[in-house]
Amino acid sequence: MVNRLHYGDNLDILRAHVRDESVDLVYLDPPFNSNASYNIIFAPPKAMRTRIDAQHAQIQAFEDSWHWNDTAEDAFDQVARSGKSKAFDLLNALRTFLGENDMMAYLTMMAVRLIELHRVLKPTGSLYLHCDPTASHYLKLLLDGVFGPEKFRTEIAWKRTFAHGNVGRAYGDITDAIFFYTKTDRYCWNQQYRQISGDKARSKYGSVDPDGRRWQSVTLRNPSARPNLHFPFTASNGTTYQPHPNGWSCNRERLQRYDAERRLHSQRRPAVRCA
Ligand SMILES: C[S@@+](CC[C@H](N)C(=O)[O-])C[C@H]1O[C@@H](n2cnc3c(N)ncnc32)[C@H](O)[C@@H]1O
């Protein structure tokens, strides 16, 4: 399934063409239930529009508004029959809470697709769902129902616009949410690093090891009083260090790990130099 583009309803495509546990990563930017017709947004400006353009725009566009009807009822039944009992419990609870309305139709459409997306993900796979505040709170519940709440990893807040000037009685919606869930705890994670310029490296990482590796000294003092993190710590160099009156910023096991990794140093009484 590498390098293949499918065109059509993703529910049909997933069921007909995508095997169980065959996908590494899902990123979905579904309709947000914005109740907007995107025909207008996707069409060329009126002055430039020809009849052909208008027809073409209609083909490309989609209607982001949902209604409780036979299609929604059928999707609801499909979730009931999916064997994903937690997902169905959740959807059913939402139906009790919301009633049979447009939001419920939207969430049912999403639930039946999220179940398929969960099915096709590999055990090492991840899913990113991009949405906005219209339905993000309900979508996160659905994801908990389909993946399990413990498979939630992070909510990425994407600042997509500048502050609005036209908000009178509320705060401007300037972020979208991207929910990151994984199929299992054995998920693939490629740590990202960013190259920084020589000047920035020199100013930010002012200390240098004999092998030329730069590093930055970070305090191990807790910013607020934490009596449970107030203990003397004896490092591998035999010196016992007392914490700041607030306590250490981490527990003894982590201090021991830093020590073993030669990442501890003391400006007054060197313990172990950072490697
Ligand atoms: C919020 S837009 C995503 C736009 C896109 N990410 C971009 O930046 O241009 C949602 C998209 O989902 C598509 N869509 C809606 N329902 C769909 C379905 N059942 N199967 C496949 N695509 C669907 C719409 O056509 C639309 O392009």
Answer yes or no: is the C-beta of 246 below 6 A from any ligand 1 atom.
Answer: no
What count of other Cβ atoms lies within 10 Å of the Cβ of residue 121? 25
Q: Give the pLDDT of the chain (275 residues) as one tens digit per residue.
A: 678 899 999 999 999 999 999 999 999 999 877 665 544 333 444 554 454 444 444 444 456 678 999 999 999 999 999 999 999 999 999 999 999 999 999 999 999 999 999 999 999 999 999 999 989 999 999 999 999 999 999 999 999 988 877 778 888 889 999 999 999 999 999 999 999 998 999 999 998 988 888 899 899 999 999 999 999 999 999 999 999 999 999 999 999 999 999 888 876 654 444 33
pTM attached to this predicted model: 0.77
| Tally of structural domains, the chain | 2
What count of other Cβ atoms lies within 10 Å of the Cβ of residue 164? 10
Residue 188 and residue 126 in contact, taking contact as beta carbons nearer than 8 Å: yes
Same domain, yes or no: 161 and 71: yes
Q: What is the CATH number of the domain that holds 130?
A: 3.40.50.150
Domain range enclosing 19: 10-30+66-182
- 3 part of a folded domain: no
Domain stop point among 151, 182, 213: 182
**Residue 113 Cα: closest atom of ligand 1:** 19
- 58 part of a folded domain: no
Residue among 28, 29, 78, 132 to mutate when testing ligand 1 (max atoms within 8 A of CB):
29
- 47 part of a folded domain: no
Residue 62 and residue 38 in contact, taking contact as beta carbons nearer than 8 Å: yes
30 C-alpha vs ligand 1 centroid, how far in Å?
Answer: 5
Same domain, yes or no: 84 and 178: yes
- 87 part of a folded domain: yes
- 275 part of a folded domain: no
- 50 part of a folded domain: no
Same domain, yes or no: 97 and 72: yes
Domain stop point among 150, 182, 214: 182
- 207 part of a folded domain: yes
- 269 part of a folded domain: no
Nearest CA to ligand 1 atom 24: 62
Side chain identity at 119, as an amino acid letter?
A: R
